[in-house]
Amino acid sequence: MERKRGFEVAKGFENAGIHMPERKTKYSAGYDVEAAEDCVIPAFSLGQKPTLVKTGLKAYMQDGEYLMLCNRSSNPGKKGLVMANSIGIIDKDYYGNPDNDGHFMFAFFNIKAEDVEIKKGDVIGQAIFCKYDVTDDDKAQGERLGGFGSTSK
């Protein structure tokens, strides 16, 4: 079978009991993604950086596709968790990069007054494979040489 798109365990998480994301119903767009380990997301304070919640996963896909990371609809109301970047975009060339093997994470702020504990195996968000187009005059030739936040370097 030809590999088109999917998830794999990222390097460093091979023996961590990572579960592959799953769609729960046949019409779900998103694959539910779990936390790879326990972590605490502190109550928000000004100047604080978002907490990166590890998934232990990387994703492969076809040309013209990206993986969109989205918050769970219940996270803001129940846990006070909002994604720092609203949505996450995982490009095809993030897969297997030399910095972190393509390990994607969710960046959260906690808008509640108390810390929020995330347990390994908690569903933290959804991942949706999407297609994109480029303009007629697109000339992008650059190559990714790093991991998280490396696109403009």
Residue 143 within any structural domain of the chain: no
Q: What integer pLDDT is reported at residue 141 of this predicted model?
A: 79
Residue 104 parent element (H or E): strand 104-110
Q: 60 burial class (0-12, 13-18, 19+ CB within 10 angstroms)?
A: middle
Q: What integer pLDDT is reported at residue 1 of this predicted model?
A: 81
Residue 110 within any structural domain of the chain: yes
Domain residues for the domain of 104 are 6-131
Residue 83 within any structural domain of the chain: yes
- Please, what are the averages of pLDDT over each run of 10 residues along the chain (153 residues)? 95 98 97 98 96 98 98 96 97 95 98 97 98 93 63 52
Q: What is the pTM of this model?
A: 0.89
Single-letter residue type at 117: E
Q: What integer pLDDT is reported at residue 147 of this predicted model?
A: 57
Q: Can you give the CATH number for the domain in which 90 is found?
A: 2.70.40.10
Question: In 3D, which of 71, 75, 85 has the Cα closest to residue 30?
Answer: 71
**How many folded domains does the chain comprise?**
1
Residue 30 within any structural domain of the chain: yes
